[in-house]
Amino acid sequence: MQQRWQAIGKLFLRRWSWQARHRWERTPIGVRFAFTLTLLFLIMLSPWICLSLFHLNAALNTQARLTQMRQAGVAELIIERELMSLLRHGEDYSVWNDARRAMLQRDLEWFRTTTVDWLTQHFHYDIVAVLQADGQPLLSSEPDIQWLTRLPLVQDAPRGKGDAGLIRHGGTIYLVSATPICDEEWKYPSVGALILAKALNRPQLDRISEQIGNRVIMPPNVNPESIASSSAGTHGGAITLYDPTGTPIATLSVEFPLAQTLLTRELADSAKRYVVGFSIGIALVASLVLIWFLRAYIARFLTAIQRLASGDWETRIPYVARDEFGFLARTFNTMAMQLQQAFEEQERQRQEIQAQNEELHALYQQLQAAHQELAQLNRELVEANRLLAQAAVTDGLTGLKNHRAFQESLNNLVQMADRHQQPLSLIMLDIDHFKEFNDRFGHPAGDELLRQVAEVLRQSARAYDVAARYGGEEFALLLPHTTLEQAVQVAERLRHQIQAIKNPHAPVSASLGVASYRHGSAPATLLYEADAALYRAKRSGRNQVCVYHPEAA
């Protein structure tokens, strides 16, 4: 079934390709030329189109990335400004004579009232802490600030060095400032430090987003190792944020609004359509211009050809350029001159021939009667020869080739197989129990069975196969260009078809022997091997296919 569907598919594909080629050949040459020329232009313009689209996409992506990086840089500057503002705010409350005096007196109530509670309630700091000169917490708005006291910028603050920076703690980024507590004139050493910390959370990012006009994104809970492995200052339109030690702690990027993204994409698609449409337009216009020029020149040749065809032998094409059209014009002019000379010579000969025709007409009338009689005799002779030739090579009962014709075909096909080194196989077929069938049901029934088997062979054989009645109830099928395996498949198919014959007297079966020609051997060897395989099939129980193998002989 699968082979049948494959054959149907191949037949359909062959038929479709033939119809397409036939329609293409029937299409006017101008349409074919225009189509081919436009297609060639489009093929030549394809690299330019692809390169233009590639550079357009690259430019748009680069522009979007640069815009994203620029706005992310602005967001980073805003964060740095917030850090500076945080540092100045801390200095406003730490560089103060009263603060230094309260630290020396360990006045916790003063710090709680004027600093910790005040900054927490009015400025919404997440952490406000006062450290002693040794770096230990004196007072804090949060119970656990050990991680904060271990920071280098916090440890440097009691020694008189104030600083601010971004600190990552857990999954939160903090803006932290550490300012020394000292007098307003900086005459005395620092006696402690004031620590302010504010989380860089979503509200903070939203305020930054309002300032730059686009949404600022800082992915939470990002692994610092992954940031460090991918960071090189900026990557993918994002800005990497670092703590004071230079360790990357987060990435900052800008997300464009959906409407802006869709508008950019729509503009890019429009630009692509314009590029493609402009390229196709160029191809079409160039093709039409070339076709117009060609048609203009070809029209001159067509006009001259029509005048020449109407009998104007003096028609010439004036074209002096030494190109293809010039060569065609010179060839046409030479042809027209030769036709003019030939026509004049022909006219002279026509007059002579007309006189001769009048003389020959009478003789023609006499010969016509004799010709009709000879033609009738010739047709009868040809038909008789055809019948004799067909009878010499055809079996009269089955209509297949007879034994003599089979031997001639075998010798010819063996020579051809040796010459071209092609495979050749032979199937010998014998009807099982034919003699008993003949004796039981009579010779007419036996002859009808032979004709049925012969019809199976005739329908199964290809145009170049040789199907013959070898003798009695034995048949032969020569298969050129057929290997032994293919011949076995044919034999099995024949066996099933013969077994399917609807005979009114008894079931029908056949034994088949298959052999393949071995190059260099005699034709009789192939016949002997197929016959040997046939008799082995009959001895093995009949109604089967046996193959001759030289090593088993």
The arithmetic mean of pLDDT across residues 521-526, rounded, is 92
Directed axis angle between helix 403-420 and helix 324-393, to 10°?
A: 140
Q: Which of 310, 302, 311 is nearest to 329 (CA)?
A: 302
pLDDT digits (tens, 9 = 90+) for 274-329: 777 777 777 677 667 667 766 776 777 777 777 777 777 677 777 666 766 677 77
Q: Which residues lie below 8 Å from residue 241, measured CB to CB, with a gap of 6+?
A: 76, 79, 166, 173, 218, 248, 249, 250, 251, 252
**91 to each of 102, 105, 141, how far by Cα in Å?**
16, 20, 18
pLDDT of residue 385: 65
Pairwise CA distance, residues 316 & 302, whole Å: 12
Position 336 pLDDT exceeds 80: no
pLDDT of residue 409: 92
pLDDT of residue 491: 95
pLDDT of residue 234: 42
Identify which of 67-81, 100-114, 243-257, 424-438 has the greatest average pLDDT: 424-438
What type of residue sits at position 461? Answer: A
Q: Which fold has domain 394-552?
A: Alpha-Beta Plaits (3.30.70)
Position 152 pLDDT exceeds 90: no
Identify which of 95-109, 152-166, 230-244, 438-452 has the greatest average pLDDT: 438-452
Contact predicate 426/530, CB 8 Å: yes
CATH class in words for 60-259? alpha beta
Domain with CATH 3.30.450.20 in the chain: 60-259
Pairwise CA distance, residues 334 & 325, whole Å: 14
pLDDT of residue 34: 65
Pairwise CA distance, residues 300 & 294, whole Å: 10
Identify the residue with better confidence: 434 or 28. Answer: 434
Q: Which residues lie below 8 Å from residue 197, measured CB to CB, with a gap of 6+?
A: 125, 126, 127, 128, 129, 148, 167, 174, 175, 176, 177
pLDDT of residue 231: 44
pLDDT of residue 415: 93
Residues β-bridged to residue 131: 137, 193
Q: Catalytic amino acids?
A: 473
The arithmetic mean of pLDDT across residues 17-32, rounded, is 64
Identify the residue with better confidence: 396 or 259. Answer: 396
Torsion of CA 147, 149, 154, 157, to 10 degrees: 170
Q: Which of 241, 224, 278 is nearest to 75 (CA)?
A: 241
pLDDT of residue 517: 93
Pairwise CA distance, residues 345 & 115, whole Å: 130
The arithmetic mean of pLDDT across residues 13-37, rounded, is 65
Question: What rounded mean pLDDT belongs to the chain?
Answer: 80
pLDDT classification of 384: cutoffs 50, 70, 90: low
Domain with CATH 3.30.70.270 in the chain: 394-552
Pairwise CA distance, residues 536 & 518, whole Å: 20
**119 to each of 90, 135, 174, how far by Cα in Å?**
10, 21, 16
pLDDT digits (tens, 9 = 90+) for 445-501: 999 999 999 999 999 999 889 999 998 889 999 999 999 999 999 999 999 999 999
Contact predicate 545/428, CB 8 Å: no
Position 87 pLDDT exceeds 90: no
Percent of the chain predicted with pLDDT > 90 = 22
Pairwise CA distance, residues 349 & 415, whole Å: 55
Determine the distance from the C-alpha atom of residue 543 to the mean position of all C-alpha atoms in its chain, rounded to a whole number: 51
CA geometry: angle at 394 spanning 390 and 395, to 5°?
145
pLDDT classification of 233: cutoffs 50, 70, 90: very low
